[in-house]
Structure 1
Amino acid sequence: MNIENASYVKAVMGGKEYAIQNNPKNVAAAIYKANAAQQSISILTPDNITVVSSFGPFLDRCTDFSYLNSKLVPELTAMQTLSQPVPQLQMYRSADRGGIKR
């Protein structure tokens, strides 16, 4: 699945899985906030394909360089340099039975 076709993506950090609305600003905010909490994060498509992951403050693995370079990095860089505020991020915790709950 192409990440740009998904309405949400999975964010895995601290051993917990969350769902977030899929847009570059939300994904960048999730990565930024994981870094601020000194946690690694993996962003996956709904069908569990890793799009990008971080290891500490570094982007570690990426399977979609076009998305990374043209959409995600500009948003993330703007947040990291404080030229753009980090938006409020709503993350929904995956329920035990496969649903998404708040």
Structure 2
Amino acid sequence: MVKIYHNRMCSKSRQTLELLHTAGQEVEVVEYLKDTPTAAELKQVLTKLNMKPEQLLRKGEKVYKEQFAGKSHTDEEWIRIMVENPSLIERPIVVNGDKAVIGRPPENVLTIL
């Protein structure tokens, strides 16, 4: 079963979820704005993505621009910031076993199915 960190208000997230269903995948949907991943879960996802926390930030978000733009933080601090402000987490993220991708574009998920 694949897991998608999903925001139903995001068109790319909806397209990615539909692509997973079309591909016949059993999907666990995590609406991460309501059910925010813990710091430990986020670390695991980042490892699977092979990304640093700062690379996963949505830098166009208002909260980022107002509170974090131009500031330097450690990886641990960025993770804490994303847990406290889940809208800053790039979406959608699809996890399949020990692999993960960001569904931008949605077709990226096909590489891990």
TM-score norm. by structure 2 comes to: 0.26
Higher-helix-fraction structure: 2
Choose 1 or 2 for highest CA Rg. Answer: 2
Higher-strand-fraction structure: 1
TM-score norm. by structure 1 comes to: 0.28
Larger RCO (CA under 8 A, 6+ residues apart): 2
